Chains A and B, each alone.
Chain A
Amino acid sequence: MDITKIVAIGLIGTFLSIAIKKQNPEISLLTGVITGVLIFIMLISDLSSLINIIKKIGTMGNISSSYISILFKVIAISYISEFGTQICNDAGEKAIGSKIELGGKIIILIMASPLMLSLLETILQML
């Protein structure tokens, strides 16, 4: 996926969104959202190959696959909460955006807690 197509779609979406912002702010926000979704869906194939590479690196360094899957889950959650937060900030609703971000952080902390516990255990054993 070449970068020029991504930039072109992004610019087109931005121009269209600005064009109808004054008469129709709701639909201009939705234009921005749909442009973001479109660009991400175009990047899916590159992303999946990247994920396979990371998995291969994980197995080569014989890191246990549970850590890798936690890593991917955290990445997915942070991406989705970032997606929501940016849309809310675009619409000017910064308070709602920060609440979504808070929710995302809490879920990520819960998900990463087993990782932290095992890290602490290994450190304590070393001492």
Chain B
Amino acid sequence: MDISIVFRIAAVGILVAVLNQVLIRAGREEQAMLTTLAGLVVVLFWVIGYISELFETVRALFSL
């Protein structure tokens, strides 16, 4: 639960952006779009894990 998750997500974002450009320059637009989607799915899974933990904490804290 520290700052490294933010850096990890930003790193995935930058990596996907660079890969996207490289693949587009290489003429493979489909693969570029697929890598963007793959990066997005990976980041989404991380974020969903954190958000569910946040909602669970709020539920426990306020005895909802």
Closest to B57 in A: A44
Residues of A within 8 A of B61 (CB): 44, 47-48, 51, 76
B3 touches A80 (CB 8 A): no
In the complex, how many angstroms separate the beta carbon of A15 from the nearest chain B beta carbon? Answer: 9
Would you list which residues of chain B between 17 and 64 have a CB under 8 Å from chain A?
A: 17, 20-21, 36, 39-40, 43-44, 46-47, 50-51, 53-55, 57-59, 61-64
Q: Is there a chain B Cβ closer than 8 Å to A69's Cβ?
A: yes
Closest to B3 in A: A9
A31 touches B10 (CB 8 A): yes
Other A-B pairs, 6, CB within 8 Å; known A20-B17, A35-B6, A40-B54 = A9-B3, A16-B7, A23-B21, A34-B5, A44-B61, A73-B62
- For the side of the interface on B, what is the size category? 20 to 34
Which of A27, A40, A75 has the largest count of B CB atoms less than 10 A from its CB?
Answer: A27
Overall SS of chain B's interface: helix
Q: Is there a chain B Cβ closer than 8 Å to A41's Cβ?
A: yes
A24 touches B17 (CB 8 A): yes
Residues of A within 8 A of B9 (CB): 16, 27, 30-31, 34
Given contacts A40-B54, A80-B55, contact A30 B16 (CB under 8 A): no
- Contact partner of A41 among B47, B53, B62, CB < 8 A? B53
Residues of A within 8 A of B14 (CB): 19-20, 23
- For the side of the interface on A, what is the size category? 35 or more
B64 touches A76 (CB 8 A): yes
Would you list which residues of chain A between 67 and 118 have a CB under 8 Å from chain B?
A: 69, 72-73, 75-77, 79-80, 83
- Contact partner of B16 among A13, A27, A79, CB < 8 A? A27
A27 touches B43 (CB 8 A): yes
A-B contact pairs, 12 of them (CB 8 A): A13-B6, A26-B40, A30-B43, A34-B6, A38-B1, A40-B54, A41-B53, A44-B57, A44-B61, A51-B61, A72-B63, A76-B61
